[in-house]
Structure 1
Amino acid sequence: MRQRYFILLSLFASFPCLALTFQTRLENVEWKVEGDKFECRLIQPITDFGSGVFVRRAGEQAVFRLNAYNSVLGEGSATLLAAAAPWQPGRGDIDLGAVWIGRGNVLFNSSQAQAGRLFRGLLEGRSPLVRHYSPTSGLSEVRLLPVKFRQAYGDYEACTAKLLPKNFEQVRQSQVGFPGGGIELDVNAKVNLHVMLEYMKADPTVNHILLEGYSDNVGNRLTNRELSRRRALAVMNYFKENGIQESQITMRFHGEQYPLAPNNNAANRAKNRRVSVRLERVPEPEKTAPSVGVVNPATLS
């Protein structure tokens, strides 16, 4: 049976009154690691409350998230601490700043800096602690314990080592430049396209590429339009050579139209010699059952 545990805040010198504290009994503490190429999670379930979760998405640093079964804390500002254990006299709590408790199952997401300091605190035996005061429910605390953390942290780091370089929001759109004015892909372009290609291979729902080629305004319009076509074609060929079907690619070319910057100096003209690459999720067309002919029995006689 789940129980709520009341702890005298005399253990914490700055709070001599009673607080409602949510934490898991020492012998029941566990850390779980979940994840894939897109996201890794390090989780401690909290008895009678929910869970504390470190979440690291591909291409980002971790944040700390507090999940709850219900909104027992109420909305409002709370303090996030890397708290010293009561059995460690002489060590003070480290105040990591405020977080805003919201509604719903996810009460807040910390900053990346706060999560990093919580990690360091856990490795030193400190506890992530959320302290919240509400006029209706009084002082409440939610505490994670550092028990068994080091082994779980190793498993979490092994998960993060397999994350993709970028997440979808970061990789979905990119500009491939042609600073030298030609139509060949340089090393930087290939590195950029490789990251996009690897994401597509990892996430089959990303199944379409839109390419749009551009040029600067040097030369005549017809020549520039052809240059923009050949640049887009160079990017298309890179994807095709690496396993993407031509049917998954839409190619457009605009010549000197739609410049990113005024064509008034060499640096700006280099910016305009580009191919815009956008990854998309295009729903697959629904398959319809073939129609079955109806035979008139009278015609069989």
Structure 2
Amino acid sequence: MRLRLLTIVCLLASPANALTFQTRLERVQWQVEGDQFECRLTQPVAGFGAGEFVRRAGEQAIFRLQSPDRWMGNGYATLLAAAAPWQPGRGDIDLGMVSVIGSGEIPFNSSQLQAGRLLSGLLEGRSPVVRHRTLHGGESLEVRLLPARFAKAYEEFRACAAKLLPVNFDQVRQSQIGFPSGDIALDALGQAKLDIILQFLKADSSVNRIQLDGHSDNSGNRLTNRDLSRRRALAVEEYLIANGVPKEQITLRFHGERYPVVPNNSEANKAKNRRVTLKLERGPATTTAAAAGSAPSS
């Protein structure tokens, strides 16, 4: 009886004449899946597709809809943490707008802040609700997820998130390792950065090319700076090899002072220019090569 009453109240709470997508309460399911790289918490929505929370390694969760039939038109949708019908006196929480691109199966991604508030709302019995218009004709449209059986699934989602890597590919695909003035040895910060990258490389075997570009500031003469940049790149290469990276996957280049990221007009700026840039790529392994005069990758 309570399930039927709750379903009726939910439907009555929807805007008049809106095309509403919502799974029957007794059929609501939450699905959790993931690995070291990404975790997903999904509720299928009858007739529409699904709503899901996605958390990538190194990031907080976002919320998005999946709709293979592409119901939604371009524009901005309203995102709500709707009050539970059995808790009278509580209003909906308007979480703001999300930009919708109706041409794809995933029409939008929320911000991390919006997703966090939706997750908190679900634990309180609130429903994630998206209000927009249809792709053809502009009819009002509402997609609603229900909080039934959420608590257990959320614990599974958190357990999955606890096993995520500290970073994702986009965060480490191009990194910079800094060096003290005149020094060629890795400091503690540089080693810590490389350790995080190494952890990712051990998990993702599809990344099998690493390009190292050594740089210096303009404090010494050109020949000295060129040698410094070479020896810094070698220091990073040696650290990677010592920690299991095959030498044949590494390409090494050095450029001296030729490509500063900022002008060498202050000590702070010079510190930014004393660096080895590390670029990760997916593809066939390459052999090590030293190309002192070639331009660095962007």
Moved more, 75-84 or 113-122: 75-84
User: Paired residues, what number?
Assistant: 278
**Structure-2 change in CA distance of 1:267 and 1:99 (3 Å):** closer
Q: Any conservation in 1 of the 2:209–2:285 contact (CA below 8 Å)?
A: no
Give, as a single letter, the amino acid of the residue that structure 2 aligns with 1:45. Answer: P
Task: Tell me the distance in 2 between the aligned counterparts of 1:207 and 1:9.
Answer: 52
* Aligned-pair CA distance for 1:282: 2.4
Match of 1:155 in 2: 156
SS in 2 for 1:199: helix
Match of 1:42, SS?
strand
Task: Tell me, in whole angstroms, the C-alpha distance in 2 between the residues paired with 1:67 and 1:262.
Answer: 47
Aligned to 1:108: 108
Partner of 1:271: 272
Partner SS state of residue 283, structure 1: coil
Task: Tell whether the 8 Å contact from 1:70 to 1:104 is kept in structure 2 after alignment.
Answer: no
SS at match of 1:238: helix
More divergent stretch after superposition (95-104 vs 195-204): 95-104
Residue matched to 1:52: 51
Counting aligned pairs with the same residue, the percent is 63
What residue identity is the alignment partner of 2:162?
A: A
Structure 1 position 92, deviation (Å): 1.2
Q: CA deviation at 1:97?
A: 1.3
1:294 equivalent in structure 2: none
Unpaired runs of 5+ residues, structure 1, are 1-5, 286-301
What's the CA shift for 1:35? 0.8
RMSD: 2.1
Amino acid paired to 1:124: E
Q: What CA distance in whole angstroms lies between the structure 2 residues aligned with 1:64 and 1:26?
A: 21
Quote how far apart the aligned CAs of 1:147 are: 0.6
Q: Which one is further off, 49-58 or 254-263?
A: 254-263
Letter in 1 for 2:96: G
TM-score with structure 1 setting the length: 0.86
Amino acid at match of 1:255: G
Amino acid of the residue matched to residue 260 of structure 2? P
Deviations 1:148-182 (A, max 9, x none): 11111111011111111111111011111112421
1:119-268 map, 5 Å:
119-133=119-133, 136=137, 138-268=139-269
Q: Provide the residue aligned with 2:284 in structure 1.
A: 283
Contact 2:209 2:284 in 1 (8 A): no
| Alpha-carbon spacing, 1:155–1:218, altered in 2? closer, same or farther (3 Å) | same
Deviations 1:5-55 (A, max 9, x none): x9688833x94x343321111111110111111111100011111000001
Partner of 2:295: none
Could you tell which deviates more after superposition, 67-76 or 24-33? 67-76
Provide the rounded CA distance (Å) in 1 between the counterparts of 2:276 and 2:230: 9
- State whether residues 99 and 108 of structure 2, in contact with CA within 8 Å, keep that contact through their aligned partners in structure 1: yes
Closer, same or farther: CA 251–99 of 1 in aligned 2, 3 Å: same
2:84/2:127 contact within 8 Å kept: yes
Give the C-alpha shift of residue 204 in structure 1. Answer: 0.7
8 A contact 2:22–2:46 mirrored in 1: yes
Question: Aligned in 2, Cα 1:85/1:274: closer, same or farther, shift over 3 Å?
Answer: same
Partner of 1:3: none
The answer for the alignment partner of 1:293 in structure 2 is: none
Could you list the runs of 5+ residues in structure 2 that have no partner in the other structure?
A: 1-6, 287-298
